[in-house]
Amino acid sequence: MRDINEQWQQETWSKIQKKVIKSAARNIGSIPYTAHDGKFDNRGAENICWWTNGFWPGILWLVYAVSGEESLKARAEECEALMDRAFYELEGLNHDVGMMWHISSGVNYRLTGNPDSKRRNLYAANILAGRFNIKGNFIKAWDEWGGEDHRGWTIIDCMMNLPLLYWASEETKDPRYTHMAVAHADMAAADHIRPDGSVRHIAIHDDRNGGMIGERGGQGYDEGSVWSRGQAWAIYGFILSFIHTRKQEYLDTAKQCAQYFIAGVQSDWLPRCDFRSPGEPVIYDSTAGAIAACGLLEIAGCVPEYEAGLYRDAAVRVLKAMEQSFCNWDLEKDSILQMGTEQYHGEKGRHIPIIYGDYFFIEAIYKLTGQTFLFW
């Protein structure tokens, strides 16, 4: 069984590498979000503050880290230069500056020592730190938007931005960044994780005095439901916080969330958009599976060997099921992982390729092939 899995991992990585190199050659000067008729769009360059803009250069760095293909490095650095404009449009940025810069500029600096990339990542870290509410011990997700005040809103996705702060503390020898990251992670464990290990997407806090005062269903089915991508953000986010802090509570939380996710996908290993939604219509979200797989593999590396198999095997099952059912390996098409879903309600953005689906699928296969450099 192990030999079969290793062969599949290597074959899948080979297909990824060929496809990314071809796609990169066709998409010079662009930062894609989704694909139309197999061709990437350019949403990121058109909206330079768009929260997913780090994932395409992140993909390029993942494949470069293994292949050494210089054209991928050049494309990734072009994206970094394009994204500089976002620093002059601060009103458009939110807490997702970690996802935007830490896996693009941050990886460039850690792989190559590029001083401009270091500065970019530190700019992003300071923007993120500036969103910290000292009374509520949380990082504000969004500003006022759509006519609704978001000053006290936190979302589980922010767990993936915390590695930027851990890195900034290590790089500058200033513990304040880590203090903020830990405070936010502690809040998320208390306010976003339910006793059964399921995850709330949005928690609303008193922004003047602290304390949770409400929740929203967010991109899931409803309040009290379990949006699968939010569950996946929690799995990966908490295990990353454990890796950076060695705080046992974060490992325990990651495992609890992982076990809920595994129970939710065991029927066919293809994640639905929400684990507590009506049986019909069947709405998948492949991005949730890719994110969760990355987190499950990191959990496997942090627990005793007798326990690791549970998490590693689940990750492989999800990835293999999605590779068989949801991946497009046509070299003339740009995107790889299909069937991503932005949110449960509304048909727009349902069952489409989304750039972070490709990113996390590629990162998970990267991990499976034995690569140990942690992009987060």
Residue 4 — φ and ψ, nearest 5°?
-65, -45
Residue 55 in contact with residue 353, Cβ under 8 Å? no
Catalytic residue among 157, 274, 285, 334: 157
The helices-and-strands tally (H runs, E runs) of the chain is 14, 7
Task: Give the rounded distance of the alpha carbon of 83 from its chain centre.
Answer: 19
Secondary-structure breakdown of the chain: helix, strand, coil percentages, each rounded to the nearest 5: 55, 10, 35
Does the annotation mark 191 as catalytic?
Answer: no
Paired strand residues for 227: 274
Per-residue tokens: 15: 């297909």
Catalytic residue from among 41, 96, 149, 334: 96
Distance between CA atoms of residues 211 and 155, nearest Å: 15
Whether 157 is a known active-site residue: answer: yes
What is 70-132 written as a DSSP string?
A: HHHHHHHHHHHHHHGGGGG-GGG--TTHHHHHTTTHHHHHHHH--HHHHHHHHHHHHHHHTTE
SS3 per residue for 216-238: ECCCCCCCCCCEHHHHHHHHHHH
Where does residue 16 rank: exposed (0-12), middle (13-18), buried (19+ CB within 10 A)?
buried
Cβ atoms within 10 Å of 111's Cβ, excluding its own:
16
Give strand pairing partners of 203: 154, 215
Three-state DSSP at 190 gives: helix
Round to whole Å and give the CA distance between 82 and 270: 36
Tell me the catalytic residues.
96, 157
